[in-house]
Amino acid sequence: MKTLYKAKVTTTGGRKGHTRSDDGIIDMELSMPESMGGEGGKFTNSEQLFGAAYSSCFGSALEVVAEKHKIDLGDFSVTATVKIGQSDEEELELAVILDSYLPGVDDIEKGEMLVNEAHEICPYSKATRDNIDVTLNLLLDED
């Protein structure tokens, strides 16, 4: 792999610790979600950070695919809902729902094609493929 960019982030204290990027842009306390026995709400958590990363990466993949097909996405957005839960074997697992809102796309087939192609090229989608459940949803403007 030819490296285009490298991010370096260090976390001390795990899920209830502190995380900081080498450039200092990210510099924050972390907290365990309340539903998992933590304080919740006080600071961000791993799932929120993962959701921010995945949704932004997937949005960029949508832009690449839309440009390739000469389609205007309009004022689009991607919302990632990241869930953490337990398997039947009581192992922790992640699942993600990606809601892609594409107001500039005028039909479902075109929208589905864009979302599916973006899922094929998005580095986060590639990293999670066959590892966690990822659900893709398409939201179009309705007149």
CA distances from 4 to 1, 7, 62 (A): 9, 10, 19
> pLDDT at position 142, please?
62
- Please answer whether residues 125 and 65 qualify as being in contact, where contact means their C-beta atoms are separated by less than 8 angstroms: no
Say how many domains are in the chain: 2
- Please answer whether residues 115 and 136 qualify as being in contact, where contact means their C-beta atoms are separated by less than 8 angstroms: yes
Same domain, 30 and 82: no
> pLDDT at position 130, please?
94
* Complete edge-to-edge strand list for the sheet that includes strand 77-86: 77-86, 92-101, 133-139
Tokens at residue 98, please?
Answer: 């990606």
pTM for the model: 0.90
Same domain, 54 and 24: no
Give 40's pLDDT tier (boundaries 50, 70, 90). confident
Same domain, 59 and 115: yes
Same domain, 83 and 113: yes
> pLDDT at position 85, please?
92
Same domain, 108 and 69: yes
Owning domain of residue 35: 1-44
